Amino acid sequence: MADEVNELLASVGHTSYETEFYSPTPEGYVPGKTKYVVVLGTVMSGLGKGIFSSSLAKILKDKGLKVAPIKMEGYLNLDSGTLNPFRHGEVFVLDDGMETDMDLGTYERMLNENLNKMNFTTSGQIFTRVLDRERQGGYLGRDVQMIPHVTGEVKRLLRELAAKSQADVVFIEVGGTVGDYENGYFIEALRELAYEEGDKSVCVVALTYVMEPKTLGEQKSKAAQLGLRQVMQAGLVPHIIACRCPSPITEKVKQKISMFSNVPQRRVFSMHDVESIYLVPEMLREAGMDREVLTILELHDRVNQRSEDTARRKWVKFVDDLLAQKDREVTIGVTGKYTSIRDAYASIDKALEHCSAHAGCRINIEWIDTTEITPRNVAEKLKHCHGIIVPGGFGNRGVDGKIACVQHARENKLPFLGICLGFQMAVIEFARNVCKLDDANSTEFAPQCKSPVIDILPEQKKLEGLGGNMRLGAKDIDLKEGSMISRLYDNSAIKRLRFRHRYEVDPRFIATLEKHGLVFSGRHPSQPIMQMLELPQSMHPYFVGTQAHPCLTSRPLSPDGMFLGLVKAALQRAYPQGTLEGVSIEKPRPASNGAAAPTPAMAVTGQ
């Protein structure tokens, strides 16, 4: 079928008055080379499509296959940059500056690779591409319609990704659930793609929810069955079904879902709650889902068994270290203003989880709302913490509480890591309380302040081309030789991290800040832009900050150095007889009295 369609398209030049086919093929695309795995959700959103898709992609990558993920969101925003963290979780910034859905962070961490703007799209992007093409006469006078032109643009985007990445398998995650108005044309485009690419080219995975009402004491699959019916009504027949449920789904439920959907029972996967999302790849492997995908897509001949053995050993060791019983534990306070929703700081949560495995300790995260913190109660609020993180954010709500946290950490030698706005708060607090610039502030919060130690600088706008826009994406940072931050990054001279901010340290105040002991240990390679700071260890055991977001590039097998340094410093505070470098604790003892209870086991959710 694929050959027939391609022949027809070639003969008519892709679109004309004589045919309704519209299936653009970008330059370099080789039909049949790239296969596709489509991951759809039913019943409800937030089931963990990104976790399932990235885990399945990982175990195929382990086998030596080249994989490329893409997340397709139905909203009309051009990117995720303006989305409220309370509604949509954190904004994840890619190397090229693309602001994306937080699921892209899951893909990067699972696959241990940097993604780019081709790995994320929204309805806003698709419609913009279609309208731009129409204005340029790209549709040869045709009336532009949802089908075939908008769906054709989706197919073009997927094939462009396949051609550019040279992937063996493209993983397509469709946001929301089947039946949503906003993603209906994505699903239709995928139906067309499966038709055009031909048999053995597209594997459809439906993620559904099996209810387990406590009042009934048994699992109920009716909602899952109805959700799967919607997938089939859309013209897609599932090859694999993943069932989310608090506990492993029973054989009875598997049989019902298998019979209802015509999916063999061996391809009905129980994706129940587990202690860490990093267990999911091995769960999939043990259930044979990798072999099933290889069979469905006829990819067995591309497998490299030695590659899989090596990758699997490394991953299993990480997971074993992560889940091992640990005698030592520390409490890290995350002091922000979005703490009521965990997803708002998902990358920080994951960066600390990576450190837990590599530092050999249990990390309890205490979420602290800075809108409730004042200089009077800050000591009480932070009394259980062995270290704190002051994360990024926008707007002045909760800022005074963040400054109070920074001051408490500095004066009480509490290990401190400031990220983005947290870096700026550290500069303001130091300027006020050490340099005695009482009115020091940021022009973001006090445009008319006399000592704007944090500002948008006219010369930086000119040099960096920032204008009123944020500084986004990966940038090189020159690290000061011999500084703590340089040592945290293996004595590197340059570190590349990702940024998302507008305001900088005003160069007019740098000399004053440095004179009083603040060290700017990371700078822009050619401009007077301060990107990292620290206090000498003679003044504080661990006080560091950065305008960047190091949590975005922390990976399970290679945790970020600043986060790992914070955890080791917190361990030394909790167990003073240990050492920071090796964290060799001779006589472990419990954390300080009143320490927060360990966090509950992590469920697999829409992280």
Cα end-to-end distance, the chain, whole Å = 39
Q: Do 116 and 161 fall into the same domain?
A: yes
Q: Do 287 and 402 fall into the same domain?
A: no
User: To the nearest whole percent, how much of the chain has pLDDT over 90?
Assistant: 77
Q: Do 336 and 301 fall into the same domain?
A: no
pLDDT exceeds cutoff 90 at 512: yes
Q: Which of 45-49, 328-332, 529-533 has the lowest mean pLDDT?
A: 45-49
Q: What is the pLDDT of residue 459?
A: 57
- Residue 424 in any domain: the answer is yes
Q: What is the pLDDT of residue 460?
A: 53
- Residue 393 in any domain: the answer is yes
Arithmetic mean of pLDDT, 211-226: 91
Arithmetic mean of pLDDT, 220-227: 93
Q: pLDDT digits over 529-578, tens only?
A: 999 999 999 999 999 999 999 999 999 999 999 999 999 999 999 998 75
CATH of the domain at 468: 3.40.50.880
Q: Do 311 and 398 fall into the same domain?
A: no
Q: Do 307 and 429 fall into the same domain?
A: no
If one counts the domains in the chain, the total is 2
Q: What is the pLDDT of residue 31?
A: 92
Q: Do 309 and 448 fall into the same domain?
A: no
Which residues, 6 or more positions from 566, have their beta carbon under 8 angstroms from its beta carbon? 332, 355, 387, 389, 415, 416, 417, 542, 544
- Residue 588 in any domain: the answer is no
| Contacts of range 568-573, beta carbons closer than 8 Å, 24 or more positions apart | 568/359, 569/387, 569/415, 569/541, 569/542, 570/330, 570/331, 570/332, 570/386, 570/387, 570/415, 571/328, 571/330, 571/359, 571/361, 571/386, 572/541, 573/330, 573/386, 573/387, 573/414, 573/415, 573/541
Q: Do 447 and 486 fall into the same domain?
A: yes
Q: What is the pLDDT of residue 461?
A: 55
- Residue 295 in any domain: the answer is yes
Q: What is the pLDDT of residue 33?
A: 95
Q: Cα 411–413–415 angle (5° rounding)?
A: 125
Helix (H) or strand (E) holding 64: none
CB 345 within 8 A of CB 329: no
- Residue 587 in any domain: the answer is no
Q: Do 47 and 17 fall into the same domain?
A: yes
- Residue 461 in any domain: the answer is yes
Q: Do 314 and 378 fall into the same domain?
A: no
Q: pLDDT digits over 340-392, tens only?
A: 777 889 999 999 999 999 999 999 999 999 989 999 999 999 999 999 999 98
- Residue 118 in any domain: the answer is yes
More reliable by pLDDT, 605 or 401: 401
Of 293, 318, 343, the residue at which a domain comes to its end is 318
- For residue 387, give its domain range: 327-574
Arithmetic mean of pLDDT, 95-107: 94
Instruction: Report the sign of the C-alpha dihedral through residues 11, 13, 18, 20, in that order.
Output: positive
Q: What is the mean pLDDT of the chain?
A: 89
CATH of the domain at 93: 3.40.50.300
Q: What is the pLDDT of residue 458?
A: 64
Of 262, 293, 318, the residue at which a domain comes to its end is 318
More reliable by pLDDT, 502 or 266: 266
Q: Do 388 and 514 fall into the same domain?
A: yes
Q: What is the pLDDT of residue 384?
A: 94
457 DSSP assignment: -
CB 332 within 8 A of CB 385: yes
Q: Do 492 and 433 fall into the same domain?
A: yes
Of 286, 318, 350, the residue at which a domain comes to its end is 318
pLDDT exceeds cutoff 90 at 581: no
Q: What is the pLDDT of residue 591?
A: 37
Q: Do 344 and 277 fall into the same domain?
A: no
Q: What is the pLDDT of residue 167?
A: 97
